[in-house]
Amino acid sequence: MNRAVVLVALAACGDNAHPHDPGCDAWHQWGNNAAHSGDTCVSGQPLQQSFADIVFDPFVPQEALDTTGDLIVHYQVPLLDQDAVYMMQKGGTYTPCERKPATPPATGTVPDCFEPDELYRLDSQIWSEVRYSWHDGALAADWQFDSDWTPEPGPFFEPMFQPVVVGSQIAIPGAGGTLWELDAVTGKVLRHVQPPGFTADTYVAGALAVDAGIIYYNAVALDHDAPLTTPARAWLVAVAPDGGVRYADYADLVGGAPRGETCYGTFQIDPDNPQPLPPPDNPDGTHVYPMKVACGPQVPGINTAPAFAADGTVFVATHAQFDEEYSYLSAVNPGTMSANWSASLRGLLYGGCGIDFACANNAQTGVDPYTNMTPAAFVDDDSSSTPVALPDGGVLYGALDDVSLDRGHLLRFTDKGAYVTSYNFGWDSTPALAGDEIIIKDNNYISFTDRTDEDPGPYYITALDSSLDPVWQFENTNTESCTRAPDGSLTCVSDHPKGFEWCVNAPAVDADGVVYANSEDGNLYAIAPDGTLRDKFFLDQSIGAAYTPVALDHAGRIFAINNGHMMVVAN
């Protein structure tokens, strides 16, 4: 929830497809293709009715209860291959958060989901992958595979379980940093890929991705008893079609990152004696900086995926394990699994004190009040933002920061790792490409006018040009929260005067440039190429994030996620 102008135009949908991608009439991975560009060369159907409504997360009521009504989960994008649909299914049992007494004057108890003994409570669930196919206009299950994968302990959002379709197979994350490879049609296990040296406390982190038939993923090894405080190890793993495994340690892939050193932390506000930040200068007039803390090794963002340029270059996003403000975007040579370049996300942004908000009187204009330094962008473990490879060889990444009012910045880099420019957007979003435009979620979680979180908004889907300047914005102005009853009727109440957040974390764009995105108001929207509403369809319920992706199949049917349901919308 809250939390140099480029002169080369982006290629059109058909030209943007990689020559080694399986074809633009399928949706085989996060963001559809190896670049994760979120576009397809089929036209989406009008949003008139639902042809399928499958509950894949039966634990939504309990999950929402444990997070005060919001659904703080990252879900898989449906994977599509002709008339086959692959989607996760959650099972097992749900272990609720422990509860503690509410602080007076409130009464009762409140959930406390982040105590040390809560780290592995999600392990009582089972993440499965189900293959569905169309029969007489309805989706029917063909097989189900129960994975032994469990999520990494620690993040606020439940981490992502994201398989990938590769040729005639589907690869599914497994326990201990392993993969299960299944026949995509029959569900028969073909291979259990077990990288040598990985232990039971190694996790497949984020989405699997495929390029030129090779499966790539991130793996992180944690200390079981102290996963949040003991240095981890992390690898980029590549699995060849014959099952051969290569992997590279992120310690060798991220150049210039602190190694066994200390990093500047952040100032903390004393709730008993709150003072504006940053603190006053030293007596000699020099600025005060935060205490240094252990950096920890570079680890991939828990919900990110590798992305691939047309020449196979691999883009990855990482952060220092104990200090996310030391984050990097790196390029890796696929053949040798060696470092190409790394770009630090520190010191790139303009904002903060005297620009976005008032700070202590001594503060210099443009510093981050929490560090007294030039603002840093960072890779956040609760974000599913994934790099997007651009047709010119460059790369986009949506980072978080501390100065843009719970938002972040979409960053653009060249194919050599040079920083180009940024756009202040709405965090946790993988942008999509629509011809020569970039489509991004653009939520304001704190009020534009009075800089408080009591009256947030507005909420946009924004199209940017190649310089990351806005071309058009479509604002969510709906004020009504609705729930769909079993008989299909809607019950609504007007309770959102500033509209609703866009809860999409990966929008989709069809061959005509129509943008498909879902909102916390429960609607799936189709936005025309000029930024006007084409049509919309109410799914199941108005509910706070999960931030969820959208996909289109070969027939132009739109697959959207809401309230733990996968719904298929068409005419």
DSSP H helices, 285-370, are none
Nearest to 122 by CA among 203, 223, 234: 203
Q: What are phi and psi of 144, to 5 degrees?
A: -140, 135
Lowest-confidence pick of 28-37, 208-217, 221-230, 400-409: 400-409
Lowest-confidence pick of 1-15, 201-215, 249-263, 460-474: 1-15
Residue 107 burial class via C-beta count within 10 angstroms: exposed 0-12, middle 13-18, buried 19 and up: exposed
* Model pLDDT, residue 451: 60
Task: Give the pLDDT confidence of 481-525 residue by residue, as tens digits.
Answer: 999 988 889 999 999 999 999 999 999 999 999 999 999 999 999
How many structural domains are present in the chain?
Answer: 1
* Model pLDDT, residue 506: 98
In a domain, 7, yes or no: no
Lowest-confidence pick of 81-85, 210-214, 435-439, 446-450: 446-450
Tell me which of 94 and 24 has the higher pLDDT.
94
| Bridge partners for 240 per DSSP | none
* Model pLDDT, residue 8: 30
Domain that includes residue 208, residue range: 13-260+295-345+379-570
Nearest to 418 by CA among 454, 394, 385, 382: 394
* Model pLDDT, residue 112: 82
What's the pLDDT band for 4 if we cut at 50, 70, 90? very low
Give dist(CA 542, CA 516) in Å, integer: 17
Average pLDDT over residues 402-411: 91
Give dist(CA 313, CA 18) in Å, integer: 12
Distances (CA, A) of 524 to 38, 263, 458: 16, 43, 18
In a domain, 288, yes or no: no
* Model pLDDT, residue 5: 29
Neighbouring C-beta atoms of residue 527, cutoff 10 Å: 24
Average pLDDT over residues 226-248: 97
In a domain, 460, yes or no: yes
Strands 109-112 and 125-135: unpaired
DSSP string, 202-239: EEEEEEEEEETTEEEEEEEE--SSSTTTSPPEEEEEEE
Task: Give the pLDDT confidence of 353-398 residue by residue, as tens digits.
Answer: 998 888 888 889 999 999 999 999 999 999 999 999 999 999 999 9
Neighbouring C-beta atoms of residue 252, cutoff 10 Å: 14
* Model pLDDT, residue 545: 85
Question: SS in 3 state form for 481-514?
Answer: EEEECCCCCEEEEECCCCCCCECEEECEECCCCC
What's the pLDDT band for 399 if we cut at 50, 70, 90? very high
Task: Give the pLDDT confidence of 428-458 residue by residue, as tens digits.
Answer: 999 999 999 999 999 998 865 666 677 789 9
What's the pLDDT band for 16 if we cut at 50, 70, 90? very low
Neighbouring C-beta atoms of residue 131, cutoff 10 Å: 23
DSSP class of residue 528 equals -
In a domain, 363, yes or no: no
What's the pLDDT band for 7 if we cut at 50, 70, 90? very low
* Model pLDDT, residue 212: 95
Q: What are phi and psi of 26, to 5 degrees?
A: -135, 175
Distances (CA, A) of 340 to 331, 357, 378: 5, 38, 20
- Average pLDDT over the chain, rounded to whole? 92
Lowest-confidence pick of 16-20, 172-176, 235-239, 446-450: 16-20
CA torsion through residues 96, 163, 81, 305, sign = positive
Largest CA distance in the chain: 79
* Model pLDDT, residue 404: 86
* Model pLDDT, residue 452: 65
In a domain, 211, yes or no: yes
Look up the CATH number of the domain holding residue 140: 2.130.10.10
DSSP class of residue 287 equals P
Nearest to 70 by CA among 3, 118, 167, 137: 3
What's the pLDDT band for 273 if we cut at 50, 70, 90? confident
Residue 154 has pLDDT above 80, yes or no: yes
* Model pLDDT, residue 268: 86
* Model pLDDT, residue 100: 83
Burial letters 264-280, b for 16+ CB under 10 A, else e: bbbbeeeeeeeebbbbe
Lowest-confidence pick of 94-103, 373-382, 549-558: 94-103
Average pLDDT over residues 213-218: 98
In a domain, 282, yes or no: no
Percent of the chain with pLDDT strictly greater than 90: 81
* Model pLDDT, residue 319: 98
CA atoms within 13 Å, Cβ hemisphere of 259: 7
In a domain, 359, yes or no: no
* Model pLDDT, residue 23: 56
Residue 419 burial class via C-beta count within 10 angstroms: exposed 0-12, middle 13-18, buried 19 and up: middle
Nearest to 426 by CA among 468, 398, 455, 463: 398
Lowest-confidence pick of 91-105, 299-313, 430-444: 91-105
* Model pLDDT, residue 449: 61
Taken as a whole, the chain contains a residue count of 571
* Model pLDDT, residue 275: 80
Asked whether the beta carbons of 143 and 187 are under 8 A apart, the reply is yes
In a domain, 280, yes or no: no
Give dist(CA 20, CA 211) in Å, integer: 7
* Model pLDDT, residue 102: 79
Residue 291 has pLDDT above 90, yes or no: yes
